[in-house]
Structure 1
Amino acid sequence: MSDPGGETAGRDRVRAHIVSVAAALLTSGGRDALSTRAVAAAAGTQAPTIYRLFGDKEGLLDAVAEFGFTSYLRDKKARPLAGDPVEELRAGWDLHVGFGLANPALFSLMYGDPQPGRQSPASAVAFRILGERIRDIAAAGRLKVGERLAADLVHSAGTGVVFTLLAMPEERRDMRLSEAARDAAIAAVTTDAPAVETPGPAAAAVALRATLPDATALTDGERHVLGEWLDRLAAGPPTN
């Protein structure tokens, strides 16, 4: 009599073992060490097993990135909340940069080969967490640009800082670069006081847009239409 549950558990164990071995190879030898043949040999298995479990090499790389991100996200979620959404964003930046410097090969795997329309499940989760922090700032009335622009700006600035620091000899790395870039990025998207106290519809639209998902009195269609209007208001008047 077959045991589907046991087969699934066994498959999961093999998959986890291969990912762990691949992550160790990545740390010791960089991305070039992650050939299918090398991973299979180190894991004590055959290449067809890797293809069966991961589909192709890109699937294996995604799994390794997700494995690395899991520890990153665990640390990120375990941090005590600062209470102030802007301070929480600042803490998230510091953790992001610290993770990249401590795990250069893994960070390069996750961010060093961007492809339009393709994002690993783990990095998508991380970006969603960043989006949630941006939304908290917007809901507090302290975001002065649209949520997507704010998230993209903070993400690109933070990732760029990591790669810039990684390109330097360790003895030349000056963390004041990260601090200055962090403060500049946050200043570019936030205000010290709630933006809704400033006259004009744009700031009010940003704050209302952040809480729109909670407007359960509206239908999905109504929220969608209102969201488009608020996005237009938040963008400000068109420039000639």
Structure 2
Amino acid sequence: MDARERILHAAARLLTEAGGEPVSTRAICSAAGVGAPTLYHHFGDKAGLFDAVVTHGFEAYLAEKRATPSSGDPVEDLARGWDAHVEFGRTHPAFYTLMYGSAKPGKLPAAAGEVHAELVKQLAEVARAGRLQVEVELAAGCLEAGVVGVTLQAITQPEDPDAAMKSALVRDALLDVLIVGRKTPTKKKGTSAVAAQLLVLIEDGADELVEAEVALLRHWLARLSGRTGA
């Protein structure tokens, strides 16, 4: 590894070992075998280093996520993705706390945007099949809020014997609300699910309509799919 990589890995390791306690740049430099000028050259300051550690953490998470083969069922993949997300946080608590526990208003790491895009892609597949009850972005926001909350609680309460059960209950409650027919096969597809499906299909291509017509149709469908503020 070059000096930059050594600093990143040293910072991540020390943060993990610190268990939430502050880590000094002096300790990071010592562990990486570099001087302070090298750290400042690559990252600018301590905040810049920790931002880079956050990005590194997201990239590690994405690598694990993309290496997992699909089950062939987009809904099952959502459930598996939830479990993998929680497990990543429990396995890499320092990374995860920096990634999600130190959020800055209006600032989202680029890698976090990629994680969101992967989730949106999965949900779009569910919507194309007519199984999503609400608009894709709304569903993504609900799932992200749920899984991040569950993971942060699991990190702060590592000895909780009910952590896995809590995660499964929250996961299934959200998926049962968002997905048509999950564990309730007799449930009929409602207007909101049809609207969410059409929204995705429009994004796939609506060459027959002019731009103004597409915009108006998106507005109507967004309202029908549950985006009451649309």
Name the TM tier (shorter chain).
Answer: 0.7 to 0.9
Unaligned runs of 5+ in 1: 1-11
* Residues 1:204 and 2:194 aligned together: yes
- Return the letter of the residue paired with 2:65: K
Structure 1 residues 213, 34: CA separation in 2 closer, same or farther (over 3 Å shift)?
Answer: farther
CA deviation profile, 1:40-74 (whole Å, cap 9, x unmatched): 23222233332332233232112112222323222
**Paired residue for 2:218, among 227, 231, 235?**
227
* Residues 1:121 and 2:110 aligned together: yes
Distance in 2, Cα, partners of 1:218 & 1:88: 33
Displacement of 1:171: 5.8
Structure 1 residues 101, 203: CA separation in 2 closer, same or farther (over 3 Å shift)?
Answer: same
| TM-score after normalising by structure 1 | 0.81
The match for 1:134 is 123
User: In 2, are the aligned partners of 1:165 and 1:173 still within 8 Å (CA)?
Assistant: no
By percentage of residues, which structure has more helix? 1
The match for 1:161 is 150
Structure 1 residues 226, 39: CA separation in 2 closer, same or farther (over 3 Å shift)?
Answer: farther
User: In 2, are the aligned partners of 1:70 and 1:122 still within 8 Å (CA)?
Assistant: yes
Distance in 2, Cα, partners of 1:29 & 1:178: 26
Distance in 1, Cα, partners of 2:82 & 2:228: 31
Structure 1 residues 36, 224: CA separation in 2 closer, same or farther (over 3 Å shift)?
Answer: farther
User: In 1, are the aligned partners of 2:86 and 2:150 still within 8 Å (CA)?
Assistant: yes
Displacement of 1:226: 4.1
Distance in 2, Cα, partners of 1:99 & 1:73: 10
Secondary structure of 1:179's match? helix
- Return the letter of the residue paired with 2:222: D
Q: How does 1:93-132 map to 2 (within 5 A)?
A: 93-132=82-121
- Return the letter of the residue paired with 1:231: A
Unaligned runs of 5+ in 2: none
Count of aligned positions: 224
Q: Percent identity between the aligned chains? A: 38
Distance in 2, Cα, partners of 1:51 & 1:220: 53
Distance in 1, Cα, partners of 2:122 & 2:17: 34
| TM-score after normalising by structure 2 | 0.84
The match for 2:140 is 151
CA RMSD in angstroms comes to 2.7
Structure 1 residues 117, 225: CA separation in 2 closer, same or farther (over 3 Å shift)?
Answer: farther
Structure 1 residues 199, 99: CA separation in 2 closer, same or farther (over 3 Å shift)?
Answer: closer
* Residues 1:53 and 2:53 aligned together: no
The match for 1:7 is none
